[in-house]
Amino acid sequence: MPETPDQLRQETAPGVDAETFRAAMASVCTPVSVVTTMAGDRPHGTTVSAFASLSLNPPMVLVSLDKSSELLRHVRRTLLFGLNILHTDQAAIAAGFARKGDDKFNGVGWTLTYGVPRLDGCAAWLACSVERMVNGGDHTVAFGHVLSAAHAAAPPLTYYQRRFGTHLVHQETH
């Protein structure tokens, strides 16, 4: 029986290729959000699907950011980020923030709230201060203490099988 993670890795299959891993992860439905922060007087943001609620007391979330991203560099400096959870009609915003470039905020309504950009019309919004950051492969996980939260009665934008969609609630039948 393996006793350490290294011994476990040695006793398992030689590894999982990237395409198989991507395909497996595509079968998981995830909410889509835009993580935002400021760099001086300029807003920055990127689309993420890897975030989760972490704790109720104190209120905390975690988000996963690519180690090579400009946004991560700014979050490390400010120690603040906004988590804008998109609603089903915001697929164009998700696609716009998923690309590279400095013009992601062009044509997108937002306000500066608790020191971070809050996108207009989101299903939910959180302002967070970074409690800690942990490296994980090619990403860094930021643990955020929630400073403020808001939500609307709107269905969330989800990502499943590499496509945007939404969650539908099943009606119970008796």
Q: Which of these ranges, 9-18, 108-117, 155-164, has the smallest mean pLDDT?
A: 9-18
Asked if 150 and 114 count as a contact pair (C-beta separation under 8 A), the reply is no
What is the C-alpha R_g of the chain?
18
Average pLDDT over residues 61-77: 94
State the chain's mean pLDDT as an integer: 86
pLDDT digits (tens, 9 = 90+) for 11-58: 555 677 778 777 776 766 678 899 999 999 999 999 997 899 999 999
pTM over the 0.75 mark: yes
Q: Kindly list the structural domains of the chain, giving each domain's residue range(s) and its CATH number in brackets, ordered by start.
A: 31-161 (2.30.110.10)
Q: How far is CA 155 from CA 46, 65, 173, in A?
A: 21, 24, 22
User: What six digits make up the tokens of 140?
Assistant: 């860094």
Share of the chain above pLDDT 90, in %: 62
Question: Quick check: 81 pLDDT over 90?
Answer: yes
Question: Quick check: 7 pLDDT over 60?
Answer: no
Among residues 57, 31, 63, the alpha carbon closest in space to that of 127 is found at 63
Using CA atoms of 138, 140, 141, 144 in order, give the dihedral in degrees to the nearest 10.
-160
